[in-house]
Structure 1
Amino acid sequence: MLKVSKKEMIVGGSKTHYFISPLIMDNVSLQSCPATNPSMLNVHLVPHTHDDVGWLKTVDQYYYGDRNYIQHAGVQYILDSVIDQLQKDPARRFIYVETAFFYRWWRQQSQDTRRIVTQLVNEGRLEFINGGWCMSDEATTHYSAVIDQMTLGLRFLNDTFGECGRPLVAWHIDPFGHAREHASIFAQMGYDGFFFGRLDYQDKARRMKTKEMEMLWRASESLTPPLADLFTGVLPNGYNPPEGFCWDQSCNDAPIRDDPDLEDYNVDEIVQRFLNAAFYKTNHIIMTMGSDFQYENANLWYKNMDKLIKYVNALQAKGSKVNVLYSTPSCYLQELNLANLTWPLKTDDFFPYADDAHDFWTGYFTSRPALKLYERLSNSRLQTCNQLEVLGGPKSTSGPFGEGDSDTMSKAMGVAQHHDAVSGTEKQHVAYDYARRLATGWAHCEVLVRNSLAVLSGSESPRVFCENLNISVCPLTESSQKVLYFSMNVYNPLGRTVSWPVRLPVNGSLYNVTDSNGKAVDSQVGNYVFMSFKHICNIYDMKSSSLLPLLSVRWFYGLSPHISINSKSILVYVFKFLKVNFDDTTGLLSSLTNLETNQTIRLTQNFYWYNASAGNNKESHQTSGAYIFRPNSSDPFVINKTAEIQTVTVSSTVQEVTQWFSPWVSQVVRLYEGHRELELEWTVGPVPIADGLGKEVITRLDTDIESSDYFYTDSNGREVLERRKDYRPTWDLKQTEPIAGNYYPINSRAYIKDDKHQLTVVTDRSQGASSIYNGSLEIMLHRRLLYDDFRGVGEPLSEPGEFFDGLVARGRLLLALTPPKMAADVHRPLAQGMVLQPLSPGTGWAPLFSGLQAALPPAVHLLTLSQWDKDSVLIRLEHQYQAKESETHSQPVTVNLQKLFSTLEVLGASEMSLGANQWKEDMNRLQWNTGTKASLPLSLSAKDPSPWEVTLNPMEIRTFLLRVRQL
């Protein structure tokens, strides 16, 4: 029955009603589940299609069924056919996952078709599972982008179908390994369970033997159980049907021939295949009936499944104990919950993933490094776009510079999270399409940013964006000698003050930098060499001596000369917090000292490459490719034992050394005044392959830290997990690949430590990392390979370059040396600052501005600030520290919602689920028994002191819908 649901929002001490959506319907998915037989083995047939949002073809090509010579797939025809077939029998079910495709299809349908689909959803016959814009990758995605793409898809389903469209189950049947943070996110979004298809072959064999294919995943060490607990099941056949039961037009399995007068009658033979389910604990088993882009002709599937159900169940009259039924993952999950069994507990993650002894899917952690960086920068741009849309008000989207929006970028970023997008496992032409979509999103956001700054500054002066700073090109700043001065805006999307170096190419050296009050800002103008391009240009580094204001804009003017010192003889750098030494003989880093704590470690850093397997090894024919990392030996080749010091620059702002290792590898080592981290800006490429060898390029940091085979990596940018060489927490590992089998994904940071020292490396994109030797940490930077790895992509990972024969990649690593107990206070802010970098939204006048009334507490991160509708905004406040991680910041912290913003008056607030598709108070998840008492949280769970004041406990994210008024 349809009903209107309304929510009371707090308004100035009283209450008012506020609607989350016009129509909310009772969720009938579970109410409509088919009856099962408790005395039999119930086989739940789940008709589904797995529709990649780009892989071998682009998103558009997949939707329209274009270029079928690459892969026969047309999503629009799948949905057409399924909806037609569901109407023919009320027993039939179907699940759909990828909202990006469904959204496009829905917009093209007539009102009659929409009414039919809505009825199917209301009756639980068409059920949405997962519900994100895509099925995201879990290794190379950042949690903030994952939450955004899930919110995008879930909101469309909620707005379109109400409560009946809300997914109850997470469904990641194709990603190549599974992150603990993803499970935590799904649990906080209100999902009852999670199903996936891929896990390590050794882990799977053990679980099948011990009947532990289903478990409770405790996905956080900080959040109070069961907040981050998620029931998790491994699907028995991956996401494919059982062998012999594929009845799609793309399959060759025999249909059910049920005419006994025919010679090839096969009903009895097919029925007998449904009795192999001994490795699950209950009398229920789930069978995925579908695969990649199947059901384009849904009649083939349903006609044969109808017969399968009919003939298998007919044998019950002869004593059979098998009951087959159409079902969905949520119905199956409900039966498992009703069984009230005790389930094993899982606390680590499912990385790395291998499907055979020499086939570790750890290469994609680094594949397509330029796309990975572009996706990360696009995430930062989207957050800035969202924030300025809120702060600038309605004129941000329709103002003096035209029509702008954040929606285009949101959708492009949603697609980019797909497990064959940012992962780097798509064909080359598809990678170009992902980048094109992000570029289009950037263009729409730029218009919005210009409009917003015009509103906030009261000036409609033109603003020009510097789009090609990655190759040190900005026409306006390089031609600025023709004008008296130029100005630049800098916007900080973080909710705290930061000190951030800004770099611009200029023509000449006659520049000085001042702030908005005419006060000189410490800066440097000098020569800088981009080694890969052999291009010399002039730049200046700027930072505000008083720190950039939060959510702010500041401008600078270039006027008069500023002289820097260049020398090749100075190989010791000292600023307030750090001291860096270089070896006089090799030109390599030799030591790093933290002057605050008086700690020094030996530190040598160099570049190496692993020889990629060509598949001719006697142990296995597996090659290295987009997915698989398989070096030919455990010892990498050093690119050069020495580094030529080309330039040394010393100034009061920055000290830097330019190192040259080879014609295709160079690096700039930088130490900024007032910073606690050392910056390594590496340039790698084009990777040479004329010798016929594919190469996997790493940088390795060798220290005297006694790490004892342990190292630590982040999970999607949030909580940190302990790793141990040649070890898995849940089974006795038989290590068959000593390098690839020890690689893990890092999204923002990794570190090694002993009792006294911790060396943390913060990255600017997702990469693969490991610690092969005691005191060593290596990070894979680039890959260029000559062979496909036979996992479907059908081409080698050998990216072309725009200027050279091969891709040139550039990136940054930040190194921090601290005592372990102080490390989180350094690497947490560093990692957030790298993800949400201050944006230079172009030149043009703008006033000093802050969108917040005051800086947020150090433990609090403003994860989301976006326009929800005309009168409301969505915010997420995050506690960014784990329990017991920081002596200072791993404590509950309270924020007042009414005192957050400088341009908004908060009139009402209501808390929502993390996915923003449920009111928090309405969340009611299934509870599961692990046979042990829930462990006490590592921190106290403080409660809100008042309706307007919200308290965040370590690792907690709280989501609010605020009703606001522009001031």
Structure 2
Amino acid sequence: MRLILISLLAGLLGAGHAFDKTCPNPYESCNLGDPTKLNVHLVPHTHDDVGWLKTVDQYFYGAYSNIQQAGVQYILDTVIPHLDEDPAKRFIYVEIAFFERWWQEQSENIKEKVRNLINQRRLEFILGGWCMNDEAATHYNAIIDQMTLGLRFINETFGPCARPLVAWQIDPFGHSREQASLFAQMGFDGLFFGRLDFADKELREKEKRMEEIWRGSESLSPPHADLFTGVNQNGYGPPKGFCFDAYCTDEPIMDDPNLEDYNVDEKVKYFQDAAREQSRHFKTNHIMMTMGSDFQYSNAHMWYKNLDKIIKYVNAAKDSNMSLFYSTPSCYLYALNKAGKNWTVKTDDFFPYADSPHQYWTGYFTSRPTLKGYVRESNRLLQVCKQTEALTANDAVLKRLESSGTSSYPLLEAMGVAQHHDAVSGTSKQHVANDYAKRLYKGRESCKAVISTAVKGSSDYLKFCDYLNITVCNYTQHRSKFTVFVYNPLGRKVNTYVRVPVSDAGGEYTVTDSHGAVVKSQIVPVSMSTILVRRNKGNADSEIVFAAENVPALGYTEFFVTKTNRGFASKVNALQKRSHLKRVEGGDVSIGNEYFKVTFNGKTGQISSILNVESDVAMPMVNQQLLWYNASMGNKESAQQSGAYIFRPNTSTPFTCTQNGIVTLTVLEGNTPLVQEVHQKFSDWAWQIVRLYKGMRYVEVEWTIGPIPFKDGFGKEVITRYDTNLFTNGEFYTDSNGREILKRVIDYRPTWKLNQSEPVAGNYYPVNSRMFLNNSKSQFTILTDRSQGGASLINGSLEVMLHRRLFGEDSKGVGECLNETGQWDDGLITRGKHYLLVDKIEDASKYHRELAEEIFMDPLIAFHDNDAPSEKSGLSADLPKNVHLLTVFKIEDGYWLVRLEHQFQKDDDPELSDPVTVNVKNLFAGYEVVDIEELSLAANSLKTDITRLRWSSADNSVADDDRKLHFSDPYDVTLQPMEIKTYRIKMIKS
């Protein structure tokens, strides 16, 4: 960890000079060109991936040039002098993860020059997040955190006048509707991006719809989630022939007429032709040209010298009728706004993305599933870290944290980097993916120390076991007594089950809660799939399973576990149940609890039906299988191979993972009061465990895939598929970044006619937290523990891609096949969970939203050896079921950043979709709120200081952008469906 991080923490996240109204109109400095000409806004820019072919550090310093010529520090080093020398020049910068590092190395003289350039908006921050995040595999919680980290750095370092006005997502591989909604709520006036489906772009060019209003929410009233959105003509590069970077091969402007290679006339004509061609696709007499690309401007002199010349000679040409000038995306946006046009409205998203008929970028929805799972689980740890850090009331503990330099910041930064569109997406080189994981690991270790110190007063008091999912925890396995710490990061009580690895030989286990009452428990043997996964990492033979009921909101409860000699006679033994595994030789098998009954076909070993016994809704399964697609290595239709980005199976029919078509069943038998399990072996590398817990309203399916075999020479894309009897008319539904739901239809796009060329890959969509299908009566839902790709290729069917191992390379730049290996170099094994629900259609949204939240923020488990369990809540009362406490973060002494959100869409539920009011005055236990200010979503401006540009839409949906809500109590927070509100609050101890 860089030492500078801790010293910067207060400056990055404190209030500082943050919010005032002294800024002039940020658009006043814009050149709007000549109304009688075609105005060409030349935008000098660089796109700096926060890791991809090289690590973040390697990119910053310019190391490993044999991999890629790229050094971010030199870009800013050479751009600043050019801007300082010439008032006409402009430049935009995006990725704050790099800029913050560069900034800390500068002299005060350079810093003062940069401040002046920023105040003049000639060096302009665009987007301003820690990274340019992916939009398919990212959860909205992590998107908001990484944007907040970057934008608050800008605000605290350069003041409110530096606030970015435009979002800039030029490189992500498809774009989500929720991302547009979040950007609108952050106060951005517009968004520009570079990638969309080739057929979509062709139609937009023809109809002059390259720019429009994107309606980011079905629940938030327009224009609160509306965002003006434009597609860049050339992605994010310059027009052909006009790349003037040291890495480019285009000819410079050679303007000495005495030279044989004089080319001004030729270059002017080519540029005029390119500008006129681009203008044919846009509605106004303004166009934007992105003059830069990946890691360009490390020698800014080459770019600016040639741009000066092209501006000079094109503007001087007698027949050009063009006005060229240096500009920025925000100035271009302002010119469009002043044009007074009516703009069309888009209500769907930009998934899936394809750049040719056989190149669907849908593989990355699942690529590197273990990294995706690690990112998701690390986000939960980060939220717990921020909560405990913020609500530590003990002054001695606070001083201990400060003196040790321990904070949530290392994990906050690592998570910011991990949201990059080549990080969580799984599309980097292997050594870079390793670096992402290493950064997360270091950040996690810091947060573990924060949590332990904040809760227990010592950084090493709590012991964390990172491999509980494969039943590895030496701390619990080799102790005869220990305490289990269960922390709930949600704003309401939850019930959960705890599974702890133990060595069962020769003893019985007793579990008591924080009040001394004995808790029912069950000893469950370790599964064969777990033994194969963990190999020599652990040797626990059993797990003790017990229910942790009513874990306090934003707080914890503890359980004391003791091991006694077997045969100890007491009522404790009557509450201790022991199970064993028995292979099923024939006949159907069923397990059930209060809510669901799951039946397995005795002949095939596969799930054959799920019954909701509470509401008597049956979902007969035609089949549930683990399957794989062989990955294409190219064929007569196209040489395109399947790779980290691209999903391209070589046939539409998948192959079964089973050996001889039979799944081997093993059932957990014995006295089983708490958990029932059926273990399914599909093959030596494909396993499932289906579980039902007492009192839990879901079916848990734990899948284990790998090492994926490769002896047949084919890469494999492994899926799970559920075929139901529902007639769905080719329709199904997926979430958008974990929030609102979008309808999908097979072989269909809402805004253009699809000519489907890849019937499997072309129907895959990102599944961040859930997908479902339904008819008029019933709904079948799959909830995921990480981002994956999913589809409904057959009526009534859902499939989710679980794992990928490939031996081809899709030629999209990464230059490696996606062949992850584990510790034993034989192919990575990945394990995850799905949660299944079968419901009446009127109940479905209520249950799947509540469960999705509990999966995303499931309780944190740790251990210690104090035998006096305790319990504590950070809230004075539980929040309503439809309210989520998204953020609790201490930003400086006495001030906290708090976000509350409405969990439901407007038509989800007759009651839970209603507006809801929460009074925050005494919300936090032990504190009283004495001041409250509403901020933008990214917390970099007062909400009242943001006035967004107004746009006229073709559907005339123009409304007041600032809701004037007045309450008698200033501490009342009222939330509309899907609304997130952000506050800076001042609290004192009560």
TM-score of Structure 1 vs Structure 2, range by shorter chain = over 0.9
1:822 matched residue in structure 2:
843
Sort the Cα spacing of 1:202 and 1:22 in 2 relative to 1 into closer, same or farther, 3 A. closer
Sort the Cα spacing of 1:824 and 1:541 in 2 relative to 1 into closer, same or farther, 3 A. farther
**In the alignment, which of 683, 702, 724 is matched to residue 745 of structure 2?**
724
1:696 matched residue in structure 2:
717
What is the CA-CA distance between 1:564 and the residue it aligns to? 2.0
What is the CA-CA distance between 1:837 and the residue it aligns to? 1.4
- Provide the C-alpha distance between the structure 1 equivalents of 2:594 and 2:899, rounded to a whole number of angstroms: 35
SS of the residue corresponding to residue 308 of structure 2 reads: helix
1:230 matched residue in structure 2:
227
**In the alignment, which of 17, 26, 45 is matched to residue 48 of structure 1?**
45
Q: Which amino acid aligns with 2:511?
A: V
**In the alignment, which of 519, 535, 550 is matched to residue 553 of structure 2?**
550
- Whether the aligned pair in 2 keeps the contact of 1:686 and 1:806 (CA below 8 Å) is yes
Q: Which amino acid aligns with 1:410?
A: L
Which deviates more from structure 2 when the two are superposed, residues 292-301 or residues 820-829? 820-829
- Whether the aligned pair in 2 keeps the contact of 1:861 and 1:879 (CA below 8 Å) is yes
Aligned pairs (5 A) from 1:442-521: 442-455=444-457, 462-481=461-480, 485-508=481-504, 510-521=508-519
SS of the residue corresponding to residue 556 of structure 1 reads: strand
Which deviates more from structure 2 when the two are superposed, residues 533-542 or residues 413-422? 533-542
Confirm whether residue 120 of structure 1 aligns to residue 134 of structure 2: no
Sort the Cα spacing of 1:944 and 1:761 in 2 relative to 1 into closer, same or farther, 3 A. farther
Which deviates more from structure 2 when the two are superposed, residues 368-377 or residues 509-518? 509-518
Q: Which runs of 5+ in 1 are unaligned?
A: 1-17
2:639 matched residue in structure 1:
621
What is the CA-CA distance between 1:91 and the residue it aligns to? 0.1
Q: Which amino acid aligns with 1:465?
A: F
1:13 matched residue in structure 2:
none
2:943 matched residue in structure 1:
920
What is the CA-CA distance between 1:595 and the residue it aligns to? 1.2
SS of the residue corresponding to residue 343 of structure 2 reads: coil
SS of the residue corresponding to residue 656 of structure 1 reads: strand
- Provide the C-alpha distance between the structure 2 equivalents of 1:671 and 1:341, rounded to a whole number of angstroms: 57
Aligned pairs (5 A) from 1:123-162: 123-162=120-159
- Provide the C-alpha distance between the structure 2 equivalents of 1:29 and 1:936, rounded to a whole number of angstroms: 23
**CA-to-partner distance for each residue in 1:402-444, whole Å, 9 max, x for gaps?**
4421000000000000000000000000000000000000010
- Provide the C-alpha distance between the structure 2 equivalents of 1:583 and 1:478, rounded to a whole number of angstroms: 36
- Provide the C-alpha distance between the structure 1 equivalents of 2:775 and 2:133, rounded to a whole number of angstroms: 35
What is the CA-CA distance between 1:760 and the residue it aligns to? 0.6
SS of the residue corresponding to residue 399 of structure 1 reads: helix
SS of the residue corresponding to residue 109 of structure 1 reads: coil
**CA-to-partner distance for each residue in 1:503-528, whole Å, 9 max, x for gaps?**
11111152121101221212211212
**CA-to-partner distance for each residue in 1:677-715, whole Å, 9 max, x for gaps?**
000000000101111000000000111111110000000
Sort the Cα spacing of 1:871 and 1:212 in 2 relative to 1 into closer, same or farther, 3 A. same
- Whether the aligned pair in 2 keeps the contact of 1:522 and 1:545 (CA below 8 Å) is no
Confirm whether residue 673 of structure 1 aligns to residue 694 of structure 2: yes
Confirm whether residue 881 of structure 1 aligns to residue 876 of structure 2: no
What is the CA-CA distance between 1:843 and the residue it aligns to? 2.1
What is the CA-CA distance between 1:463 and the residue it aligns to? 2.1
Confirm whether residue 430 of structure 1 aligns to residue 432 of structure 2: yes
What is the CA-CA distance between 1:648 and the residue it aligns to? 2.2
Taking every aligned residue pair, what percent have the same amino acid on both sides? Answer: 52
What is the CA-CA distance between 1:498 and the residue it aligns to? 1.2
- Provide the C-alpha distance between the structure 1 equivalents of 2:693 and 2:608, rounded to a whole number of angstroms: 19
Aligned pairs (5 A) from 1:601-750: 601-603=619-621, 604-615=623-634, 617-640=635-658, 641-649=661-669, 651-750=672-771
Aligned pairs (5 A) from 1:845-864: 845=866, 847-864=870-887
- Whether the aligned pair in 2 keeps the contact of 1:523 and 1:542 (CA below 8 Å) is yes
1:328 matched residue in structure 2:
328
What is the CA-CA distance between 1:643 and the residue it aligns to? 1.2
Q: Which amino acid aligns with 1:347?
A: T
Q: Which amino acid aligns with 1:771?
A: S
- Provide the C-alpha distance between the structure 1 equivalents of 2:342 and 2:776, rounded to a whole number of angstroms: 39
SS of the residue corresponding to residue 187 of structure 1 reads: helix
Sort the Cα spacing of 1:966 and 1:583 in 2 relative to 1 into closer, same or farther, 3 A. same
- Provide the C-alpha distance between the structure 1 equivalents of 2:549 and 2:93, rounded to a whole number of angstroms: 52
**TM-score where L is the length of structure 1:** 0.95
- Provide the C-alpha distance between the structure 2 equivalents of 1:541 and 1:942, rounded to a whole number of angstroms: 52
- Whether the aligned pair in 2 keeps the contact of 1:942 and 1:953 (CA below 8 Å) is no
**CA-to-partner distance for each residue in 1:253-278, whole Å, 9 max, x for gaps?**
01011112222211111112223221
2:268 matched residue in structure 1:
271
Q: Which amino acid aligns with 2:668?
A: V
Q: Which amino acid aligns with 2:577?
A: I
What is the CA-CA distance between 1:60 and the residue it aligns to? 0.1
Aligned pairs (5 A) from 1:39-438: 39-272=36-269, 273-274=271-272, 275-276=276-277, 277-315=279-317, 318-393=318-393, 398-399=399-400, 402-438=404-440
Q: Which amino acid aligns with 1:515?
A: D
Q: Which amino acid aligns with 1:528?
A: V
**CA-to-partner distance for each residue in 1:258-312, whole Å, 9 max, x for gaps?**
1122222111111122232211100000000000000000000000000111111
- Provide the C-alpha distance between the structure 1 equivalents of 2:410 and 2:218, rounded to a whole number of angstroms: 36
- Provide the C-alpha distance between the structure 2 equivalents of 1:944 and 1:639, rounded to a whole number of angstroms: 60
- Provide the C-alpha distance between the structure 2 equivalents of 1:755 and 1:464, rounded to a whole number of angstroms: 49
Sort the Cα spacing of 1:945 and 1:112 in 2 relative to 1 into closer, same or farther, 3 A. same
SS of the residue corresponding to residue 610 of structure 1 reads: strand
Q: Which amino acid aligns with 1:464?
A: K
Q: Which amino acid aligns with 1:903?
A: G
Which deviates more from structure 2 when the two are superposed, residues 59-68 or residues 268-277? 268-277
What is the CA-CA distance between 1:899 and the residue it aligns to? 2.4
- Provide the C-alpha distance between the structure 2 equivalents of 1:771 and 1:804, rounded to a whole number of angstroms: 34
Sort the Cα spacing of 1:270 and 1:187 in 2 relative to 1 into closer, same or farther, 3 A. same
- Whether the aligned pair in 1 keeps the contact of 2:733 and 2:771 (CA below 8 Å) is yes
What is the CA-CA distance between 1:164 and the residue it aligns to? 2.3
Q: Which amino acid aligns with 2:630?
A: N
Which deviates more from structure 2 when the two are superposed, residues 303-312 or residues 525-534? 525-534
SS of the residue corresponding to residue 356 of structure 1 reads: coil
Q: Which amino acid aligns with 2:894?
A: D
**CA-to-partner distance for each residue in 1:147-177, whole Å, 9 max, x for gaps?**
0000000000000111222100000000000
The number of aligned residues is 939
What is the CA-CA distance between 1:392 and the residue it aligns to? 1.1
What is the CA-CA distance between 1:320 and the residue it aligns to? 3.0
What is the CA-CA distance between 1:774 and the residue it aligns to? 0.8
Q: Which amino acid aligns with 2:552?
A: P
- Provide the C-alpha distance between the structure 2 equivalents of 1:395 and 1:310, rounded to a whole number of angstroms: 66
What is the CA-CA distance between 1:23 and the residue it aligns to? 7.8
**CA-to-partner distance for each residue in 1:293-335, whole Å, 9 max, x for gaps?**
00000000000000111111112xx353100000000000000
- Where do 4+ consecutive residues of structure 1 move more than 6 Å? 940-943
- Whether the aligned pair in 1 keeps the contact of 2:790 and 2:799 (CA below 8 Å) is yes
SS of the residue corresponding to residue 115 of structure 1 reads: helix
Sort the Cα spacing of 1:124 and 1:918 in 2 relative to 1 into closer, same or farther, 3 A. same
- Provide the C-alpha distance between the structure 1 equivalents of 2:589 and 2:320, rounded to a whole number of angstroms: 81
Q: Which amino acid aligns with 1:288?
A: T
SS of the residue corresponding to residue 450 of structure 2 reads: helix
SS of the residue corresponding to residue 119 of structure 1 reads: helix
**TM-score where L is the length of structure 2:** 0.93
Which deviates more from structure 2 when the two are superposed, residues 293-302 or residues 799-808? 799-808
- Provide the C-alpha distance between the structure 2 equivalents of 1:929 and 1:699, rounded to a whole number of angstroms: 46
- Whether the aligned pair in 1 keeps the contact of 2:633 and 2:642 (CA below 8 Å) is yes
Q: Which runs of 5+ in 2 are unaligned?
A: 1-14, 565-572
SS of the residue corresponding to residue 863 of structure 1 reads: strand
Q: Which amino acid aligns with 2:23?
A: D
Q: Which amino acid aligns with 1:236?
A: Q
Sort the Cα spacing of 1:193 and 1:844 in 2 relative to 1 into closer, same or farther, 3 A. farther
Q: Which amino acid aligns with 2:255?
A: D
Q: Which amino acid aligns with 2:400?
A: G
